[in-house]
Amino acid sequence: MLASASTPLIVRAGPPDLDDLLPLFEGYLAFYGRHSDCPQQARTYLGDRLALDDAVVLLARNPAGKALGFAQLFPSFTSLGMARTWVLNDLYVAAHSRHGGVGQALLQAVIEFARVTGRAQVVLETGVDNHRARALYERAGFTATQGFVGYGLRLAAAAPGSDRRDQAAHGVPAC
């Protein structure tokens, strides 16, 4: 996608983009009330996602190259649909770039990427009280899931932000 004066350039991020992505990722964590006591933890986690290619990160930049926001996708499947899907796990726009169409551009890039990669659907979750995000998703054609209740089970070995396997592989001390 080409950037105009008001339209961000959306690119697939790679390891060289880590330094630009990290402040956005930390902003995302803070938005959801997650703060790390270990500054290296977010760098390791996000760096591993890029280096191991187990996620797709789309990065929005302005025409001058400044990072404005990102979307992170994880591959998944739907057994009921017997098809591959993308989970839109994270979508974040820096506070100074909100209300300028960056979130909409990222979401449209996610949808186009899903189509190009032959996925049956894009699924996501957002906070019940995140009305702006919900309105953005609904304007793009997403519908709230009906008839299902989400559950989660936090495991002590997989505390938020810790991927001990990745930390050990990179010599990062556990925090």
The CATH class that applies to domain 9-169 reads alpha beta
Domain coordinates in residue numbering, the chain: 9-169
User: Could you read off the pLDDT of 26-36 as tens digits, one per residue?
Assistant: 999 999 888 77
The pLDDT, as a whole number, for residue 148 is: 85
Buried b / exposed e over 55-79, threshold 16 CB at 10 Å, is bbbbbbbbeeeebbbbbbbeeeeee
Please report the pLDDT score of residue 106 as a whole number.
98
Tens digit of each residue's pLDDT (9 = 90 or more) over 125-137: 998 999 999 999 9
